[in-house]
Amino acid sequence: MDLSAVALALGMVSTAPARAIEELTFRLPVVDLSLSARVSELQSAQALWDGDSDLAQLNRAFRGRFSAQFEELLQTPLPLQQDADNPMTRQAVLLLRSLVDVDAAEPALLAADPVQIALGRVQSAGKPLTLLNLLQALPGKHVTIRLDRALPYLRRLQRQEAEADALITGRPPLPPAPTTQLTPGPLPLVIEERQLPDPAAQEPLEVTVVRPDGAARLPTVVISHGLWDAPESFLGWARHLASHGATVLLPRHRGSDLSQQAEMLAGDAPPPPPDEFLRRPREVSLVLDGLAAGQLGLPAATPTRDVVFMGHSWGGTMALQLAGARSVATPLWQACARTDAPQRNISWVLQCSFLPAAIPDSFADPRIARVVAVSPPQGLVFAGGLDQLKVPVLLVSGTRDLVVPPQPEALKPFPGYGGQGHRLVLVEGGTHFNLPAAADTPGGPLRALLLRWLQGQPIEPGVPLGDPAGLPLHVVPVTGNGSKSS
């Protein structure tokens, strides 16, 4: 759903003002008490606390004790990032449902479509995506905000962001990369679609091939997309690497790609089952088998071993699986049932769904020599098995990733990586959605970093890998796993 189309559609309907939430009830933590306030009173802090609502009266009775907390709750940006129709936003909708209760008369108020339309209204008005602005755009009458859940969550999110910021404060970013690494390479490209027979599925596995027109000069690359995404989102990476001499293979994981999401939202398919966590690595092995067997129509000299695997989001989780990370049962898994777990974040929606299928077996593939994991959910599902990594991992995380926050999903797990040669790069201002690169981009802010990792060259502080027009990159010196970057 395109947000500009949503805004246009909203403008074409009746000129009468859209119905919106008129009253909010706040469920207080600890005590079994609910207080109400009119939305009109929430337009400004002064209007709220000078009003005659239950909330204003209680605040006056306790000499302003509650005002700061409520203002923080209503005005803190929600983890619904700027690309609000991105598929991963659906997980943020689940978070919203956990913070807000709807009336029995409007059970579908927080369904995906009404929330998506409300997001479009907020963005078209140029407003920040706060809880107050979003609720004002929903076409209902009344909702209850669960302060017992919302305030702890927002504070946890702010704390996680602050820890990532502290690591890069005062540290210079990587210098700009040479022009030769930022611009496309000299090789013309061939882009093809291939089909691999898949004995375990009803249809073949679709693979997009992006390769140089001629002999490959670099190792072969496999790039896997995340949940409800597609290979097209990574053609910018693929084109950049291929123009410098790599053959790049991008499988489409149909069990959890963009088309699967469309079928699910139409009621024609269920959500991806837990078994998808095991099926995806098998599909990558199928791609590597097809590469070795010559089933992809590639030049005979195309490298079939020492493959470099790259993945984003769930694809990054797969990168860790294929590097040897194991899903070893730990007491932390029990926290899936707790809303107050200190490390809890939106990616746990996905990670907790993996656990029914998780097995302790290693999926390490000897044909893979190194991996790149960009924004991978990992802190829960691999909590007990990251010491089993067999190949070097380049872990990349954005400091403003609200879906897979860097503190619990990168900074905390990384010191436990086993093996040698791992690197952690924080992207200053990076979100969950601005690190991949589609075909209409020059390759995104990571293009020189990915090329250098593919070439097997060291990544250290001070190495020129940044994009002068992009987001600053920081190599983080994390100790504890033999992969110090000092």
Whether 166 is covered by a domain: the verdict is: no
Q: Are residues 415 and 335 in the same domain?
A: yes
d(CA 83, CA 36): 32
Q: Are residues 131 and 226 in the same domain?
A: no
Whether 170 is covered by a domain: the verdict is: no
Domain that holds residue 38: 3-160
Q: Are residues 249 and 139 in the same domain?
A: no
Percent of the chain at pLDDT > 70 equals 81
Crossing angle of the two packed helices 112-124 and 89-99, in degrees rounded to 10: 100
pLDDT in tens, 88-109: 455 556 666 777 888 887 777 7
Q: Which of 139-143, 291-295, 377-381 has the lowest mean pLDDT?
A: 139-143
pLDDT value for 365: 97
What DSSP letter does each residue of 116-172 carry, written as one string? HHHHHHHHHTT---BHHHHHHHSS-SEEEEEHHHHHHHHHHHHHHHHHHHHHHTTPP
| Strand 205-212 relative to strand 34-38, pairing | unpaired
Q: Look at residues 183, 219, 241, 159 and name the one whose alpha carbon lies nearest to residue 407.
A: 159
Q: Which is more confident, 120 or 362? A: 362
Q: Are residues 148 and 280 in the same domain?
A: no
- Is the pLDDT at 150 greater than 90? The verdict is no
pLDDT in tens, 419-435: 999 999 999 999 888 99
pLDDT in tens, 442-486: 999 999 999 999 999 999 999 999 999 899 999 998 654 444 333
Check which CATH number belongs to the domain holding 221 and give it: 3.40.50.1820
Q: Which is more confident, 132 or 6? A: 132
pLDDT value for 109: 74
Q: Look at residues 260, 280, 276, 272 and name the one whose alpha carbon lies nearest to residue 357.
A: 276
pLDDT in tens, 326-337: 999 999 999 988
* Residue 395 burial (10 A CB sphere; 0-12, 13-18, 19+): buried
pLDDT value for 88: 44
pLDDT value for 191: 98
Q: Are residues 228 and 331 in the same domain?
A: yes
Phi, psi of 217 (to 5 degrees): -105, -15
160, 195, 230 — which closes off a domain? Answer: 160
Count of structural domains, the chain: 2
Q: Are residues 156 and 183 in the same domain?
A: no
pLDDT value for 278: 95
- Is the pLDDT at 304 greater than 80? The verdict is yes
- Is the pLDDT at 41 greater than 60? The verdict is yes
| Strand 205-212 relative to strand 189-196, pairing | antiparallel
Q: Which is more confident, 157 or 468? A: 468
Q: Which of 40-54, 264-278, 359-373 has the lowest mean pLDDT?
A: 40-54
Whether 481 is covered by a domain: the verdict is: no
Phi, psi of 396 (to 5 degrees): -125, 135
Q: Which is more confident, 465 or 402? A: 465
Q: Work out the number of other CB atoms within 10 angstroms of the CB of residue 290.
A: 23
Q: Are residues 97 and 11 in the same domain?
A: yes
Whether 168 is covered by a domain: the verdict is: no
What DSSP letter does each residue of 336-349 carry, written as one string? GG-S--TT--TTHH
Specify which of 29-33, 80-84, 266-270, 327-331 reaches the highest per-range mean pLDDT.
327-331
CB-based burial, 196-223: b 16+ in 10 Å, e otherwise: bebeeeeeebbbbbbbbeeebebbbbbb
What's the rounded mean pLDDT across residues 121-129? 82
Task: Give the model's confidence band at 10: pLDDT under 50 very low, under 70 low, under 90 confident, else very high.
Answer: very low
Q: The tokens of 27 are what? A: 């469920």
**Torsion sign (Cα): 150, 155, 158, 160:** negative
Torsion angle of the four alpha carbons 150, 153, 158, 163, in this order, in degrees rounded to the nearest 10: 170
Q: Are residues 340 and 432 in the same domain?
A: yes
What's the rounded mean pLDDT across residues 300-309? 96
Report the predicted TM-score, pTM, of the whole model to 2 decimal places. 0.78
Phi, psi of 209 (to 5 degrees): -110, 125
Task: Give the model's confidence band at 112: pLDDT under 50 very low, under 70 low, under 90 confident, else very high.
Answer: low
pLDDT value for 349: 80
CB-based burial, 116-132: b 16+ in 10 Å, e otherwise: bbbbbbbbbeeeebbbb
Q: Are residues 246 and 387 in the same domain?
A: yes
Q: Are residues 203 and 118 in the same domain?
A: no
CB 448 within 8 A of CB 177: yes
d(CA 218, CA 216): 6
Whether 171 is covered by a domain: the verdict is: no
Torsion angle of the four alpha carbons 57, 63, 65, 66, in this order, in degrees rounded to the nearest 10: 20
Longest C-alpha distance within the chain, in Å? 80
Q: Look at residues 143, 344, 354, 373 and name the one whose alpha carbon lies nearest to residue 256.
A: 354
pLDDT value for 9: 26
- Is the pLDDT at 11 greater than 90? The verdict is no
pLDDT value for 79: 59
pLDDT value for 8: 25
- Is the pLDDT at 5 greater than 70? The verdict is no
Q: Which is more confident, 66 or 316? A: 316
As a residue count, the chain comes to 486
pLDDT value for 80: 58
Side chain identity at residue 366, one-letter code: P
- Is the pLDDT at 318 greater than 60? The verdict is yes
d(CA 122, CA 125): 5
107, 131, 160 — which closes off a domain? Answer: 160
Average pLDDT over the chain, rounded to whole? 83
pLDDT in tens, 172-219: 999 999 999 999 999 999 999 999 999 988 899 999 999 999 889 999
Q: Are residues 80 and 218 in the same domain?
A: no
Q: Are residues 114 and 193 in the same domain?
A: no
